[in-house]
Homo-oligomer: A and B are copies of this chain.
């Protein structure tokens, strides 16, 4: 399949656009969208690479889903709803049309599920492993976007979902917590938010660094995923270590005032949402990041999440 054939297929697939997309970039150099009345935009981009973020054996639908979903997770972390997205694919030459189409299908599936209009993109081919770069634009659900720097001493630290062991499969089908953050913001104000992409131990230290605060979390409160439990049974590492340090959970880590937490946790149960929200600790004035072990002793939490090295 030539570039032209793939582009023609994509153009048909992209024909149904929401009203805000005035011109899709299929035929044109740029997509044109209607941004009237929108005061604030959130912009984010994420690149995923074959060999680093996915393997050549993963299903192209899953890879496509992941490429879009990790960006939607960044929007969720900023408390923003998805509007428009563009996709850049550097395809390994010889991947073939069937593969590229399935990749696109996975992307469209994630985009449509969460109301993102894919307005265009760029496909090119090269000799190296496939690289996929998705950029998304959104706007705050509430009045203001959420930042990492807003945590205040005394805040409750909470997370969505259950942590660890995403490598068993969840890492390819991450669920951006858009529905959850929209609902949370309907119920209460939160002070700081981010998504957990490199393990909560590392990401919590990043948030506290931005907020110039510290944290005390309780090991017994960490919501450990079933995947982390299973992994622990096979590799012998405590499941809670997986929950603290494994990458690619894409759950939300947020801080919220104590009284707002009472309101939120009370109403959350009533909502009947499947995704748990769990208090794991508190923000402290002191900038250390501590963890209280089950025996009651406290120790520094060393960030052991995934660090990329060039």
Interface residues of A (CB under 8 A from B): 1-4, 6, 22-23, 25, 27-36, 38-53, 73-75, 77-78, 80, 84, 86-91, 93-97, 100, 119-129, 131, 133, 135, 137-138, 145, 147-149, 194-195, 206, 210, 307-310
Contacts and interface: CB of A to CB of B under 8 A. Distances in A.
A64 B47 CA distance: 17
A36 B140 CA distance: 13
4 closest cross-chain pairs (CB), A and B:
A128-B128, A133-B133, A49-B126, A30-B42
A97 B125 CA distance: 26
Given A32-B145, A46-B122, A96-B310, 12 more contacts: A3-B308, A6-B310, A29-B77, A30-B75, A32-B43, A34-B39, A35-B39, A45-B86, A47-B90, A123-B308, A131-B133, A133-B133
Contact of A41 (B27, B32, B93, B125): B32
Given A2-B310, A135-B88, A42 B31 contact: yes
A29 B310 contact: no
Given A23-B145, A77-B29, A125 B310 contact: yes
Contact of A23 (B2, B32, B46, B147): B147
Given A86-B45, A135-B135, A310 B32 contact: no
B50 A126 contact: yes
A93 B31 CA distance: 33
A85 B219 CA distance: 41
Given A45-B86, A96-B310, A128-B129, A38 B40 contact: no
B137 A43 contact: yes
A22 B149 CA distance: 14
A146 to B, nearest CB: 9
A310 B34 CA distance: 33
Nearest to A35: B41
